[in-house]
Amino acid sequence: MKEFYKKKFIYAECGGMMILGDSIEDENGSSHNMAGILPFKAKKGSLSIGYRNIKGEKDSIIIKKNQHIKGHEFHYWQIENKFKDKYSSSLFSSPWKIKSWGTTYKKEGWSNDNLHASWIHLHLPSNKEALKNMLNNHQKRNSN
């Protein structure tokens, strides 16, 4: 996966994002190495479920700064990151902020020019520009 990541774009939602982390801890406390692309460990947590309103934090492969899109989240996992800002490091930053009913916006997801990873399952019809952005970015990468 690391070799693929060096050459091609990776888009990962939910469990796909977990595979990109350093490791996953199972219910028995045993740790299992994953791809090691994203700087976090995943372990069992409480249920996170529901529809999310999403606002672009920066121009990314999916949406531009201040654009909106909708999606949903459904998982029992949590991530632990070694960085103070859970969704930022020297190589990645959060592409957006998410909120649900009765909450405020919070950073979520990881992105850079070659990767997008998030808990969110996107509802692309909620922002028709998002699919165009993804396709345009994909074509730019493959034309070089």
Sketch out the chain's domains with CATH numbers: 2-143 (3.40.50.880)
First to last CA, the chain: 21
Parts of the chain with a pLDDT under 70: 82-87, 142-144
65-99 pLDDT tens trace: 999 999 999 999 999 886 666 667 778 999 999 99
Closest-CA residue to 37 (of 11, 64, 75, 65): 11
Q: List, by residue number, the catalytic residues.
A: 14
